[in-house]
Amino acid sequence: MNLEERVRLKKANRRELYSLEPPFPYTNFLIELSNACNHACIFCTHQKMKRPVGFIKEDLLYQVLQQAYDLGTREVGFYATGEPFIVNNLSKYVKKAKKIGYEYVYLTSNGSLATPEKLRAVIDNGVDSIKFSINAPNREMYQFIHGKDDFDIVVEHLQYMNEYRKESGRKFKIFITGILTRYTERLKEDYFQVFKGLADEIVFKDVYNQGGNMPEIDELLRCTYDNETYRRCNLPFDSIYVTHEGYLSVCNADYENMLVVADLNRESLKDGWYGEKMKKIRQGFMDDNVSQTLCDGCLHHKKLPASPLTPEAATINLELFSDKQVRDRLIKAGYLK
C-alpha cells in the first residue's frame, strides 16, 4: 500500500465498516509510549490533564505489538497524548516494530526534542515517516499557540532531518502538519514560504474539540469558516489505540482514560477489540446514540457531562470541561477582554 492509498484510506467515509465485529485494522494503530509532553498547545487537552504521567512497560509494548501484528496490522504510530521524543527508548521501540515485521512505523512530534542525535537514532533504526506538528509559521504566533518559544529550534531540527536524509540515503518521509485556529487560518500560505523544501507534504487540519475534551474550542478557537455540526468518526471500527498503562481505548484523544474498553494487562488485544464494551460503543455509533459518553460532545459539538466507560481506569477531572485556561491565555494575549 503506497502513501497515496494510505492517505485516501484514512480520509474515506468508511460506513461499510460499521458493524459490531469489523475486520481487524490493517492500519490506524497508535501506541502512547508516554503521556508526558513538553508543550502546552492552546487547543490541546494536555494542559488540563490530571492523569498521572507515566511510560509504557517494555514487555507490555512488545506483547501488544506482536498481538496486533499476528492479527494482521502492518502499521504503527508511536504517539498519542504525549511527545514521543521524550521517551529514551524510542529508537529501540522503532527497531523492535520493524523487526517484528511492521511495514510502516511513524511518529508525530512537536519537534523541539528531536535533536540530531535522537533523529539519527530513529532514522537509522528504520522509521518510515516523521511528522512535525508546527501550528504557526512564525515565532510570535508559535509561542502563543504552543505555549513555548521553540520555533527556531524546531526549524533547526527540521533542517537537520532533511540534511541527514540526503547524507544517509535513508528512504523515509518528512511531513509537517498545522492545526488551524481562527488566529492562524490566514497564515496557510506562509507555511509554504517558511518551510519551502523542508517537507514532502504540508497538511492542514482545522482545530476541533479533541474528542469532546475541549468543547470551549467551538466558542474560542474554531476557524471562522468552520460550520460543522456533526463530526464523522470511524475510530471504533477501524483503529487501535493503546495507552501507556496498557488500556485499549476507543479514541487516541482520550487524555483521562474516559473511553477505555479493556485492560491489556489482563486480556488479549483481540478479546478487547471484539469485547462487549467495544461492541456497545460501536452499537451506539451505529444508532447515533452515544449519550453520556465523551464521544457525544465530539460528534455533536455539545458541551455535555460525560461518564467513563471503565471508571476504575479513568482519572476524574472536574476541570476537563472548563474553558478557564484557554480563556485566560486569550486574555493575556490581548485577543479577549
pLDDT at 5: 42
The distance in angstroms from the start CA to the end CA of the chain is 51
Q: Which residue has the cell 498547545?
A: 41
Q: Which helix (H) or strand (E) holds 62?
A: helix 58-70
| pLDDT at position 3 | 44
pLDDT of residue 317: 87
pLDDT at 325: 94
Per the CB < 8 A criterion, the answer to whether 100 and 129 are in contact is no
In the chain, which stretches have pLDDT less than 50? 1-12
Q: CA quadruple 328, 332, 334, 337: dihedral positive or negative?
A: positive
90: its cell numbers? 524510542
In the numeric block, the cell 500560505 is attached to 189
Which phi and psi angles does 76 have, rounded to 5°?
-150, 140
- Sign of the C-alpha dihedral computed for residues 335, 224, 321 and 147 taken in this order: negative
Asked whether 238 and 25 are in contact (CB, 8 A), the reply is yes
- Domains belonging to the chain, first-starting first, are 3-333 (3.20.20.70)
Position 256: which residue type? E
Strand order in the sheet with 104-109: 201-206, 173-180, 129-133, 104-109, 75-77, 29-31, 240-242, 247-249, 260-263
Q: What percent of the chain has pLDDT over 90?
A: 91
Residue-wise pLDDT for 174-194, tens only, equals 999 999 999 999 999 999 999
Cell of 290: 452515544
pLDDT of residue 321: 84
